[in-house]
Chain A
Amino acid sequence: MNTLRGIVKLIAISFMAMIFFLVGTIQAMAVSEYPTKPISLIVPAAPGGGMDVAARLISPYTAKVLGKPVNIVYRPGASNTIGTLDVLTAPADGYTLLMDAHSASSLMAAAIADLPFDWQKRTWIGRLCLDPVFYAVKSDSKWKTLADIAAAAKKNPQEFTWGCGGAGGISTISLSTFLLAAGVSLSGTKRVVFTGGAPALTALAGGHIEFAAQQASEVQSLASAGKIRLIATTLEKRSEDFPEVPTTKEAGFPQVTITGWQGISGPPGLPEHIVNVWVKTLKDAASDPEFLDRAKKVGKVISVLGPEAMKSMVMKQYEEYLYVLTQVGLRK
């Protein structure tokens, strides 16, 4: 009986070893052709946000082009740091990539002073799209232009109530930059912080705050419903959905051009041929009319940048945001 058991054990072990080696060999062969298995696109935020929408735009397109599924994996937590760190420490084989955004790079680093990892150590692949910011007031507000708001805030900062959708998010930066450019002393004003864009805009529509700024997808519905009025947008030229809304340049504040953005990054040391595959995919997407159409519907402005341009954009933003956040007193 013992001998039989021994033989069975031996066979089992050799079988397992065989499979192990087989799997290893197949993996080694796979390096030359990318991709050979599904790719995980990590979204470091909860579903339903700006990053999610961008991920849902690019992943089916890429999956079609590359021939392998691109799975969206959510890893929310701690202002995008948890998911970002996961990707930055993942193996650089091109199968774990990051849905990057201002909130996972420049803004994140500017807002959090003691990040436990080096946020710059990543492979920049490309920027996909912009998420323009719209400044808004309640529909029956007496303020009609950015200049009106600037004047009111300067005259009576103690009573000026503005709302941010999130502690260190894009709305805070947009609003702070504008107010600083207008010469308003931020510390005297009433800055009300909400957990997200929706509560902030709801409070605006209900008259509990007087001024807010959020991204296109968030303001769309309330603006169409006539509950809030859009005062300006940070785009280069006027939005097609809201042609009557002037740009910040036209409104007299050309230095206020904060926009959110989304793009793709990978762990540090990603092989060049993988980066090139993605860069080409992004460029092709930007000239595909169907893709552009879908992007327009969800309020994203497609504006592709390659790895070098993306990196310098991010660095420039980081410096700007660092300055603004220190002024507001938010940098920790």
Chain B
Amino acid sequence: MKADVVAALFVVFLGFFISIMSISLGVGSFERDEESSGMFPFATGLGLFICGLFQALGSWRYPDLVSWPSCKGALKAAELLGILIVYVILFRGIGYTLATALFLLFSSLLLGARNWWGILSISIGTALLCWYILGEMLGIPLSAGPFGF
């Protein structure tokens, strides 16, 4: 499958870049006083380069049946990731509790929840619970929103 070959080629490039960057860190040798930060990553980069080539060749000749998702499915996964990202961005701005409640609300809706009582109670309840247990009891510094919680 094309995606597989592309991925393998990506690995080849990755290995190449890692090797190049390692050389700038200094590769050195086994001799005393010449050890250097780049030695190990260089070996890693080289390994990735070689394995990537092998894999690209293998994927091209014997396509591994990769389970590529349907458009609709992938979209759902992407939307979920999107909501998660928004949650993290909002966290500092509007405070942990509110951000968490909103996140729970929207992601449950996305995943197919329809019972409004359930959604609201779980969203708000969990958010408040987390704030108390984690913020107050365990002392994790969660941002407080404009209301102080």
Contacts and interface: CB of A to CB of B under 8 A. Distances in A.
Given A16-B147, A20-B146, A23-B148, A187 B33 contact: yes
Contacts of A23: 148
B139 interface: yes
A190 interface: yes
A19 B147 contact: yes
Contacts of A187: 33
A264 B146 CA distance: 31
B141 interface: yes
A190 B33 CA distance: 8
Contact of B141 (A16, A20, A40, A190): A40
A202 interface: no
Interface string A203-232: 000000000000000000000000000000
Nearest to A40: B141
Majority secondary structure of chain A interface residues (helix, strand, loop or mixed): helix
Give the interface size class of chain A. Answer: under 10
B92 to A, nearest CB: 14
A298 B32 CA distance: 39
B33 to A, nearest CB: 6
Interface residues of B, number: 7
B145 to A, nearest CB: 11
A73 B141 contact: yes
Given A40-B141, A71-B139, A190 B32 contact: yes
Nearest to A187: B33
B61 to A, nearest CB: 45
A189 B33 CA distance: 9
Contacts of B146: 16, 20
Interface in A180-204: 187, 190
A23 B95 CA distance: 15
Contacts of B141: 40, 73
Nearest to A158: B32
B95 to A, nearest CB: 13
Nearest to A190: B32
Interface string A61-87: 000000000010100000000000000
Given A19-B148, A23-B148, A73-B139, 10 more contacts: A16-B146, A16-B147, A19-B147, A20-B146, A20-B147, A40-B141, A71-B139, A73-B141, A187-B33, A190-B32
Interface of B: 32-33, 139, 141, 146-148
9 contacts: A16-B146, A16-B147, A19-B147, A19-B148, A20-B146, A23-B148, A71-B139, A187-B33, A190-B32
Q: Which 6 A-B pairs have the closest CB atoms?
A: A71-B139, A23-B148, A187-B33, A20-B146, A73-B141, A19-B147
